[in-house]
Every structure is written in C-alpha cells, then in structure tokens.
Amino acid sequence: MSIRVGISQRPPALLNLQTSIDRALATIEEAAASGTRLLLFPEAYLPGYPTWIWRLRPGGDMAVGNRIHSLLRQNSVDIAAGDLDPICKAAAKHNMVVVMGMNELDAEFSGSTLFNTVVIIDADGTIVNRHRKLMPTNPERMVWGCGDASGLKVVQTAVGRIGCLICWESYMPLARFALYAQGLDIYLAPTWDGGETWHASMNHIAREGGCWVMSTATAIEGKDVPQEFPERDRLFKDDEWINSGDAVIVKPFGGLHAGPLHREKGILYASIDIQAAADSRKALDVSGHYHRPDLFHLEVDRRSLPALSLRDDD
C-alpha cells in the first residue's frame, strides 16, 4: 500500500496554545489538499519546545525561568479538558492520521506537572496512543516529569502500524527494541535534534528495525519568538536560526527517501510503500529470526503508574 505522508516543521506560536493550534489546523488543511494520509508534527509543538532552558544562566535566571514556566504551564495541553478536540476533528474531517507533539499538563493528579508527550490520532479522530517521554534530557528535567511505559506501544492505524519515540529516546536501545518487537511499519521520531549525526542515527534505526523512519525538529528563527516573550531580546536574536528543522524520511533497511528540509518553514512530502517495511526484514529481523530469545529477553512494565488510588465505600 502506497500512501502520501507529510512532516511539518513550521514553528508554533511559542507559549501561545490557541494560536499554535490554529497554525496546526492550517497545516493539516494544506497537507490534506495534497492527499496526505499521515502528518507528523515536531517534538513539543504545542505550544513550542522550551528552547530557552539551554540559554538561561544556571542559578542566575531563576526568576525569569519561573515566569516563563508559568506561561508554559498555562498554555500546555489538557487532553481530558478537550484541548486536542479541534485537532482530532480535523484528522477525522480529512481522513488523516495526525501525530502531534506537545507539552501536556497532568490535570488528573498534580495539576501542575508537565510531560513531553506525543499522541497518535487515527484517521477517525480517535486518540489511539499517548506516549510521555521516558527521560527528559539534561535541563529538560526542570520542565518535564518522567513518563511511564504505558504509551510504549505500536498501534494499528489507517496507514499501518506506527510507533513513536521522542528525541533522545531514540538512543535508548531497549526502548527501540520494544517497538520493533510489536510489528512496526513506521517509526516516528519528533525531536529537537538534527544534522548529520542525528540523520545517521535515523538511518541506523531504519536498517536495524526494518521500518520507515520519519523525523523532524522545528524550523524556527529568533524573529519567530513573540515580542511578549519574557527577556526575549536577551535570550534570542532575530537573525539567528534557533533550530534548522532538518526533516527526513528514511527507507526501511536504510537510505534517504526525502529531505532533509533544512531551514525551511514548510512541509516535507513523500509517498511511501508500507509493505516495504516487512519486505526489508527478510535478511535482518532483530525481533524475529535474527533474535535469540533463548539468550536475551526484554520485559517492559506498561502498566500506568498513577500517583493515587482511592477506595471509597459503596
């Protein structure tokens, strides 16, 4: 089955959830007009990756960091409150699988902790998986909590079997294997990374897993940061590229298929043959005939880990 896929690396409205959702909806409309069946957005697209954490002075910018984090929390996604409903409705309207990265608010227990989350919305508008990043990287741990493995799943969608890992989770070999062993067609890697080293890793994963690999960061310049952003002119320069985007699509068993889309605030399109993933595993199937289950065994605890369990009298 051949399908048209797209990767958007356009910038959101940093720290503005509603405007970022509006931009996502416009991108979905545009991609649908070209026949796209699967559309990937970058890591933490709603309402933007917290790139400021790599620029704040350790110990010296606590006050401004707290101000920014408060704005981020106020503009993060509460799934239970229906914040994703417009995206889900657009996916259903256009019979499109939409994969969206976001800052997610834990409204169920703490009411304040944020997670780096990616959701897969099937072509009927149903959220079929929510994966929270297992281990935030370096200063990201001042922004996001650690997710559990309840979303470490490959799910059947209208366009094939899809699994997601976020950014440097792709450097966690056991997490990768957990997806490979669930019959993976398309490996999605929304990220903040890019460049030759990252693309080499995506090529390795396509070869190792025998799957299509799609990855992108956000293509964003300093001038894209809203004027009202706290300490904007100190933290960002209008003429700098904060991130180049570098969207790529890699073929099963390796080899660049499309991209990289470098420093372009656009959508990378391509047609892919889903069956090529299974075909590529004839010689190397790391969770099948090229595995030694008598020697190696991976066990993943995918139970949700709630902070609280309540028992009330009937």
- Identify whether 167 is a catalytic site residue: yes
Q: Identify the active-site residue in 88, 133, 164, 221.
A: 133
The C-alpha torsion from 16 through 42 and 164 to 27, rounded to 10°, is 90
Q: Identify the active-site residue in 167, 169, 208, 221.
A: 167
Question: Is residue 145 classed exposed, middle or buried when 0-12, 13-18 and 19+ CB atoms within 10 A define those classes?
Answer: middle
The 8-class DSSP code of residue 68 comes to: H
Counting every residue written for the chain, the total comes to 314
Distance, in Å, from the CA atom of 119 to the CA atom of 99, rounded to the nearest integer, reads 6
**C-alpha dist (Å) from residue 301 to 102, 150, 178, 180, 264:** 24, 8, 11, 16, 40
- Identify whether 43 is a catalytic site residue: yes
- Identify whether 133 is a catalytic site residue: yes
CB under 8 A, 24+ apart: contacts of 193-201: 193/167, 193/168, 193/217, 194/243, 194/244, 194/245, 194/246, 194/260, 195/244, 195/246, 198/246, 199/246, 199/248, 199/250, 199/256, 199/260, 201/170, 201/171
Instruction: Output the six-digit token pair for 282.
Output: 């004839």
Q: Identify the active-site residue in 43, 104, 208, 221.
A: 43
Catalytic residue numbers, as ranges? 43, 133, 167
